Structure 1
């Protein structure tokens, strides 16, 4: 017992601190998959929906989503046009969107990098998945999620059910293009957010999967 008390009362010298050591500060890390997805989104110059096609399986309207970049593709691998079901998948070689007049020759050419086919319900599901990972009590805890929730619930360019039944095909294409462009902007936004914001990490990956799967 006395030996134990002697050990407790003994003075153990503390290690001396290095006055020249750098000050440590917390760093918010981003999953590597999210970083790759951000690189994918950064390279997108324009999103277009010009054409629609009926599904081979059930006749449902498929929206042909085209992704363009200002950087020429370094690969000759054909892109895949896919609506999420294997039966409707076809292969298409990337094309180049060239200028129609000599006055536009100096403008950088946009290159068609990807072309995918999606149903209207796929757009609605993407919106639902993004909303599902927003922060709880975002109004008080996360400005980023608060802005996204406001956008997803009240902005007109959303894949709502009444848009599907009460608008023309041309109007639907315009709304869906705006919706995708807005999500890409949100994914790259630098708005203040919670350190533990799941939307910040998940939205880029959701978009990459939607546009590149």
Structure 2
């Protein structure tokens, strides 16, 4: 009987030791950030090494390391970004965002600041006008993240969803536009579109010039 008790106690101590070790390992895990791009799915490389496509997790295994990253996506200019181990430590648990420039823009144009509403909107409009609406939506949605009261963001979404024949989403976007910009110069025209849509009349699909 005593042997059985000692055996149980020994197993209990072993289990406790394993648990303590796991907690200890968790404490020393390297900091990580999520690296994202607009548009999502850009290919990331570092020198000759392919790191995959965004979004991806970036770890600060070496706090002194400096990574020169290249980003490529079809229909966009290639972009460069430097990420150091210290950047990852500083932004631990956060996300780092890079916005790519549409290739319809001149290559000499400056990079897009992820918080620049004007240039985000311009990029979204450029894509929308060439019927690249799924991509344009990513730019307009980023605008709404930066400023939830950005009328241009919701108007852009409404136009894109209408072009994509996504009636419900277009209607919701137009309603959001009217909520944040009720006195906009084109507010009456948008109200008419909403009224017609709710009356089971098709939303104008491919006429972004109407707004």
Check whether TM > 0.5.
Answer: no
Relative to the length of structure 2, the TM-score reads 0.25
Relative to the length of structure 1, the TM-score reads 0.25
Higher RCO (Cα < 8 Å, 6 or more apart): 1
